[in-house]
């Protein structure tokens, strides 16, 4: 199967510090892939490098068979890869409707209004508040706005950086249900970085674990969820199948993982 996104031996530096050490991963069309790891593991650096926010020092990033590594972020976004950054970064003094139109800034077609209606169908809370300033929304509503704004660009690959950060369990469950619904209805592929390992593994098809800038484990989410080291260090020592709802997230490690 041809990869939609192919990352090979990626290295990215912050000044004298190498944040990514030869990371490789793939995302196929209409697939949800999750990247797990502790704070500082390199997850956000990976998404920012794919999205063009950071330039790679070595390695390749290819999207639909074309190299995009090192391109400017706006070129990457116009090419079909759109990032929803950590912390949402909406435009707080613009209305919800204006934020959505900003997501379509590069489009010249006549279907923007129709797509806005689709966003309101997927996110009814946004329809109710479409004339309200975005900064007055709750954290969960802002995340819904950030995702819908990204979708207004009609991406073929959506990058999500910690979509559950700061959200209640109920909003987290809603966000991941929407992610699955978007994939099913639009066939948009999703690469999601997430610290709530339980819901990420229950939602995604394939997963990668990054530790200290390297891929430490990879496989189907079903297989990863049954590994004892994953259970212990990312699922709180669960000894049963993952639930289909929110179940806690990362717990502090009690000893070094077996893959190190």
Q: What is the pLDDT of residue 209?
A: 96
Q: What is the pLDDT of residue 87?
A: 85
Q: What is the pLDDT of residue 15?
A: 81
Distance in angstroms (rounded) separating the CA atoms of residues 74 and 77: 5
Report the DSSP beta bridge partners of residue 83: 159
Q: What is the pLDDT of residue 252?
A: 38
| Interacting residues of 100 by C-beta distance below 8 A, sequence separation 6+ | 116, 119, 126, 145, 148, 149, 152
pLDDT tens string 59-104: 999 999 999 999 999 999 999 999 999 988 999 999 999 999 999 9
Q: What is the pLDDT of residue 152?
A: 97
pLDDT tens string 104-122: 998 889 999 999 999 999 9
Residue-range domains of the chain with CATH: 1-80+156-254 (3.40.50.300), 88-154 (no CATH)
Q: What is the pLDDT of residue 1?
A: 65
For the chain, which ranges sit under pLDDT 50?
238-256, 258, 260
pTM of the predicted protein model: 0.89
């Amino acid at each position: 199967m041809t990869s939609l996104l192919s990352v090979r031996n990626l290295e990215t530096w912050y000044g004298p510090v190498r944040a990514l050490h030869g990371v490789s991963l793939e995302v196929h069309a209409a697939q949800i892939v999750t990247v797990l790891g502790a704070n500082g593991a390199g997850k956000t650096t990976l998404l920012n490098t794919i999205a063009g926010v950071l330039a790679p020092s070595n390695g390749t990033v290819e999207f639909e068979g074309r190299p995009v590594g090192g391109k400017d972020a706006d070129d990457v976004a116009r090419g079909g890869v759109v990032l929803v950054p950590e912390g949402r970064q909406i435009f707080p003094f613009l209305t919800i409707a204006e934020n959505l139109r900003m997501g379509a800034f590069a489009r010249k077609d006549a279907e923007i209004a129709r797509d806005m209606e689709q966003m309101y169908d997927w996110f009814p809370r946004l329809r109710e508040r479409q004339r309200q300033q975005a900064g007055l929304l709750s954290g969960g509503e802002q995340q819904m706005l950030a995702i819908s704004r990204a979708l207004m660009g009609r991406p073929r690959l959506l990058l999500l950086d910690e979509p559950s950060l700061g959200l209640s369990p109920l909003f987290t469950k809603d966000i991941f249900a929407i992610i699955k619904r978007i994939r099913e209805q639009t066939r948009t592929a999703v690469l999601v970085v997430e610290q709530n390992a339980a819901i990420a593994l229950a939602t995604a098809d394939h997963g990668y674990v990054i530790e200290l800038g390297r891929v430490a484990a990879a496989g189907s989410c079903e297989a990863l969820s049954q590994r004892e080291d994953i259970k212990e260090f990312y699922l709180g020592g669960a000894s049963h199948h993952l639930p289909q709802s929110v179940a806690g997230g990362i717990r502090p490690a009690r000893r070094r993982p077996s893959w190190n």
